[in-house]
Amino acid sequence: MLTGHRTWTFESKPVILSTGTVGGPFEANGNIPDDFDTLHEDMWMGQDSYEKAHRILFEEACNKAIEKGGIEKEAVEFIIAGDLVNQITPTSFACRTLSIPYIGLFGACSTSMEGLALSAFILNGGGANYILTGSSSHNSAVEKQFRYPTEYGAQKPPTAQWTVTASGVGLLGKTGNGPRVTSATIGRVVDMGVSDPFNMGAAMAPAAVDTIEAHLRDMQVGPDHYDLIATGDLGKIGHSIAIDLLAKHGLELTEEKFQDCGLMIYREKQPVLAGASGSGCSAAVTYGHLLNRMKRGEINRMLIVATGALLSPLSFQQKETIPCIAHAVAIEAGGD
């Protein structure tokens, strides 16, 4: 059901039945290693290219979610997912192996919640019984495309963020036990004229604020309706800007209530500059760390606002500014 101008509310409250999260060696040394199902010891993951390793991340996360969900792979009607690499080839090639009907998405780092919102909408409308949805990123594959190959050792400014090597996938069902998806607010493209690809947080923060405001307005609730509002992934710079913008718009959010996936995944001493990024960041943090906290009873309601910078190497070369988007999904605790 459409509520307000941009928000879907899901009467059947589709269930996140299980999840699969896979990370790399840098994530194994991070802040939430216990929230990953699988952690690889090297970036190659037994493959001969980083792009193929990227594909492995998503394949393994999907297979783990199916295994933990206790269903046969053939019962899954659709995969709705994407990544950051050109033409989302890692996800598409993984789905070639998985052989499940597939809808590919590109929302940059907002893809995780874009996919969750669309999956819940389809399930709520009776269009499927089981859907896999998620996203992934690989540091070396993504950095090579959008910035410089990591082998170059190029210096980065303090505003830059570290691309996560991880995948997070959720298996959603029409019925069952687990956290429930209650609503989703679809973002609109916001471009405030930022053109620096090493300052994604500043570019994406206005889009996050726009979607948060729209969600609260459409649902006619205040921030206190949620135990946690988490963006993904603004990093230190964007998170600080978002707090200031929200305050200017009359929404005072505490650091405890308003957090960022890009600041959760790594330890303070890891050399990630302004924090984490990548479409696998919010996916892995949400489907791993945050849902585990919900299952432990630490969170009852949360709003995940995944942000994405919709640039490409070509648009940067043509000196375009960076259009951004954010999609928000509300999740509440359910039966175990």
pTM as predicted: 0.96
pLDDT of 229 higher than 90: yes
Query: In angstroms, rounded to a whole number, what is the distance separating the alpha carbons of residues 38 and 61?
Result: 8
2-173 topology per CATH? Peroxisomal Thiolase; Chain A, domain 1 (3.40.47)
CATH class of the 181-332 domain in this structure: alpha beta
Determine the 3-state secondary structure of 15 from DSSP.
strand
Q: Among 88-102, 110-124, 233-247, 306-320, name the one with the lowest average pLDDT.
A: 306-320
Query: In angstroms, rounded to a whole number, what is the distance separating the alpha carbons of residues 25 and 165?
Result: 8
Confidence class for position 148, pLDDT limits 50, 70, 90:
low
Query: In angstroms, rounded to a whole number, what is the distance separating the alpha carbons of residues 332 and 183?
Result: 10
Q: What is the pLDDT of residue 150?
A: 62
Q: Among 56-60, 87-91, 152-156, 255-259, name the one with the lowest average pLDDT.
A: 152-156
pLDDT of 241 higher than 60: yes
Determine the 3-state secondary structure of 86 from DSSP.
helix
pLDDT of 152 higher than 90: no
Residue ranges in the chain assigned as alpha helix (H): 25-28, 50-69, 89-98, 111-124, 139-146, 200-219, 235-248, 279-284, 291-295, 313-317
Confidence class for position 144, pLDDT limits 50, 70, 90:
confident
Which whole number is the average pLDDT over 113-134? Answer: 98
Domains 2-173 and 181-332 share a fold: yes
pLDDT of 145 higher than 90: no
Where are the chain's structural domains?
A: 2-173, 181-332
